Structure 1
């Protein structure tokens, strides 16, 4: 379990993390989301003891990370895949880490096989592609068979097979009762992997809720009718939001399908389609964080 309690980090006059509190529970894949500059990486670094908080604290399995006598056996970390001795082979990198905790070579070989590194195990890690570096970083994170796994952008640079491997691995780890905490900018992948979300913006907590609850908040209804123009007037009178998708097809928010059907019936308007549409995670995230975006792209000339 990870417990973040009023965690705050200042860099001079800049407040990177602002009194942030949340709990990451075992048995779930918890996604950590936020726009660029939201404080995600800084928070993860403070959880891992790499940055000192200005105020507050972060506990992993009941203690600050630095107080664990055998941290590799408690927490598996991937914060920077390229944090390796570039002249060492993948196998020697893992063996060096294993030696610090008395982990035998059989575990190293098991992780090499698990991460798909068998063919490159003797090659220098400094020459690895981004994707192979990610695989090595994940193998290192799992070396001590930890109860808690913290991964920052774990699928960055991976091919489709690698992305599927990571997704399956994380869900299996959570099913074993481990605490799994990961960040990613890939909303489609997070929607397939995460059970729960912690969303931050400008260093503050915006949401802490299940994925299904977030997407259910942003539900619209597709309504098809040959009398779409007339129906639009009645919908607007009921304070619904209406967007024309194409001729005769509306996307309606603010009323559920039953209410729209009853409204159409009262006014004698035919309906050819009435389909509830749940927002994608990306759409729900963009709506949730629209006031917290620090770096916003401009419009092409």
Structure 2
């Protein structure tokens, strides 16, 4: 078998790890000469149009990350299973990010940062405790549920929302369009871990923000988006921050990446910007996961975490 590594970033660290975990098997790299007829598997992120065509022996495509929206609009995508990388390392990283920023907003850390820069001693604020703050997690799959469990350990009042109905022990889970308004109405901190699909594109907009709780202990609702940039309308986020519809926002993903230099998000006093690094795929852990999936497949077992193309995730 041959594995093709097709990336938009430096492939060498990934190739090195695949060679360790798939010893003796040929590893090809997009942009170099290779036998297209020998490729049985592709590990990719953001492949250029045409790079996955003409692979007659292809059996599976592995997306090197939790999301697969970079493949859903790909022209002439081969009709083979698309496998999402779902591993503990990535899940734990995302939960760390979500918990950290929920705590930052709970304890009003950005205001204390400003006080420090101004050499202003202002200890008179009394923040609420976590149990007084309602967190709503949009996208209640593996990542969302793990983040919710860890937020609950910290004491937050956590609920989830997903497109389709599901039962998760220990949590109230809202679902679909019918459950969305009730979910938003009980949410002080909105955490979006949604995949990007036609249904979720632009969903984080003024209309949605206006439905968030107004009676919370934080003084206004907060947005944390570590899912996909295409799900947010950045002009609405800025406008809602300016008029008080939102109190603050933490954004790890953006409509255009890297975030353009002229974006007002860079300098907005109520915005925290991070460079799409909430849950970076680690080459070692990811290569190990894909190698295991390949061995399972070649032993006659089904791939795990196969994407439902009709749903887009």
Q: Give yes or no for TM over 0.5.
A: no
Q: Give the greater-gyration-radius structure (CA).
A: 1
With CA pairs under 8 Å and 6+ residues apart, which has the higher RCO, 1 or 2? 1
TM-score, reference length from structure 2: 0.29
More helix by share: 1
